[in-house]
Amino acid sequence: MKLGFQKLFRAAVWWVAVAVALPASAPAQPLTGVYRGEIYNVPHLVNAYSAWLGHDVPMGQGHQPKDSWANIENPSWQLNAWGTWVKAKAGRRLNYSVSMFPSGQGSLSQCATGAYDFRFRNLANNLANAGLQRSIIRPGWEFSGSWMPWYSGNGQQANFAACFRRIVTAMRTAQPNAGFEFDWNPNYDISASDLAATYPGDAYVDYIGFDLYDQGWNGRYPIPSGCTGTCQQNRWQQNWDIQFAPALAKFRNFAAPRGKRLSVPEWGVNDAATMGGGDNTYFVQQMLSFIFDPANNVGYHSYFDYQAPDGLHQLSNVDNAGGHTFQTQFPNAAALFRNFYANLPTAGTLSTSRATVTPSTVTRGQGFQVSGSVTSPTAQTLIVKYEIRTAASPFTLVAEQFFSQAFTAGQTRTFTPALVIPTSRPAGTYRVDTLVYTSNWSQTLLYRNDTTFTAN
């Protein structure tokens, strides 16, 4: 949760196809969510936000209080309201920040022993009873921040990882068919060593998340009143390049070899009074470009559309009653955000089979067959490409073949390219990837790592 802490972060746009491991059913677009505040009737404000955006937002966000076990195990005032909203329309989900224990009433070491397991079994049951089975859960969100009760520093890294495992196991045990997904969510500035030390293991993590707000330090922000035009643009870009690009690379490189999707559970522009970049269109464009590039494997994002005590971020015109009377102080960023959604591809979600290789063990210098299929939900022309890459870093491209094909709505086309691994390449493990582009190559609709195989 953003309230009560410093917010720093941004990311770089990476256009190179990186070695990610998307699931076979990965959508062409990440799930869009929004945070609209911690009030009892918050769900209906998501509908008002969708109306402003001109795009249906299927995921709302809520945060648990940190004051009592009752508000961790069964905050019925939250769960019932969100359950009503989720059940009102197919495809809706809750992104839920879950407290590991109340402030001053627990510890990571106790959690790590399983002392709180029964409380999280209760939470899982209460979520399911409220109709929130497919929720994305963020246990101990922003755990690398010293402002959190479950702070993972000061030698608590192993206890945090163990506590996370206990919570996930308890909730899955109580509701094995609920379809809960779990987001492991440190802050952007966590060290590489702490990333490894606090990571609970692939079996317990569905998303690797981080929050980022447009703040700058070392004199870059706030931008002086006389710095406009090129001067302002240079400040925005410099802050992005210095402060945020390395952090995005760190998280992406950590998630990719583990086959985990990234998430951006909270992000937003920020006002100058709290060291923000103000009406920063550069930040919004870079963020959306990164989030919606399939090569970065972002599973979902949630904009923090809220005027918080420690920073102002709201882009929409949605007021606290669900009307449309609010006037944002970030009009240019808001217009860019809306226009981006207005121009998203309307292709829908592509359905593709996982590409396979025949024979399963190939001989270098000899041809082998790749097999895969693509189903288009609409009538359109797509470019379907199959790549052979080395299975280990630096994931070198070895061979490729692409097809430009017209699809009718709902049509499935099968592709069987014949490829060869040159004898100049070493024996070892390789991988076939599936890529789908728009007809002019301008947008990547799908980038997925499929099947590994051996070449002798």
In a domain, 8, yes or no: no
Shared domain check, 217 and 116? yes
Shared domain check, 293 and 153? yes
Shared domain check, 355 and 338? no
Segment holding 159, helix H or strand E: helix 157-174
Q: What is the number of domains present in the chain? A: 2
C-alpha distances (whole Å) from 434 to each of 208, 350, 374, 401 are 23, 12, 10, 10
Which of the residues 73, 181, 266, 387 is marked catalytic?
266
Range of the structural domain that residue 360 is part of = 351-455
Q: 62 with 99: CB under 8 angstroms?
A: no
Show pLDDT as tens, one digit a residue, over the chain (456 residues): 444 433 332 222 222 233 333 333 344 579 999 999 886 667 889 999 999 999 989 999 999 999 999 999 999 999 999 999 999 987 899 999 999 999 999 999 999 999 999 999 999 999 999 999 999 999 999 999 999 999 999 999 999 999 999 999 999 999 999 999 999 999 988 999 999 999 999 999 999 999 999 999 989 999 999 999 999 999 999 999 999 989 998 999 999 999 999 999 999 999 999 999 999 999 999 999 989 888 888 999 999 999 999 999 999 999 998 999 999 999 999 999 999 998 876 545 678 888 999 998 999 999 999 999 998 888 888 999 999 998 887 778 899 999 999 998 889 999 999 999 999 999 999 999 998 888 877 677 788 888 899 999
φ, ψ of residue 43 in degrees (nearest 5): -55, -40
pTM: 0.74
For residue 212, give both structure tokens.
Answer: 């980022």
Distance between CA atoms of residues 365 and 55, nearest Å: 50
Known catalytic membership, residue 400: no
Distance between CA atoms of residues 64 and 305, nearest Å: 18
Shared domain check, 334 and 404? no
Which residue has 């270098």 as its token pair? 364
φ, ψ of residue 357 in degrees (nearest 5): -125, 135
- What single string gives the DSSP state of each residue in 12-74? ----S-------TT--SSPEEEEE--S-TTTHHHHHHHHHHHTS---EEEEE--SS-SHHHH-
Shared domain check, 362 and 267? no
Which of the residues 73, 142, 181, 387 is marked catalytic?
142
For residue 71, give both structure tokens.
Answer: 């508000």
In a domain, 25, yes or no: no
Q: 232 with 223: CB under 8 angstroms?
A: yes
CATH at residue 434: 2.60.40.10
Which residues, in sequence order, are bridge partners of residue 184? 208
CATH at residue 233: 3.20.20.80
- Using the 8-state DSSP alphabet, how is residue 203 labeled? G
Known catalytic membership, residue 142: yes
Distance between CA atoms of residues 403 and 370, nearest Å: 13
In a domain, 39, yes or no: yes
Last residue of a domain, one of 342, 370, 400: 342
Shared domain check, 382 and 309? no
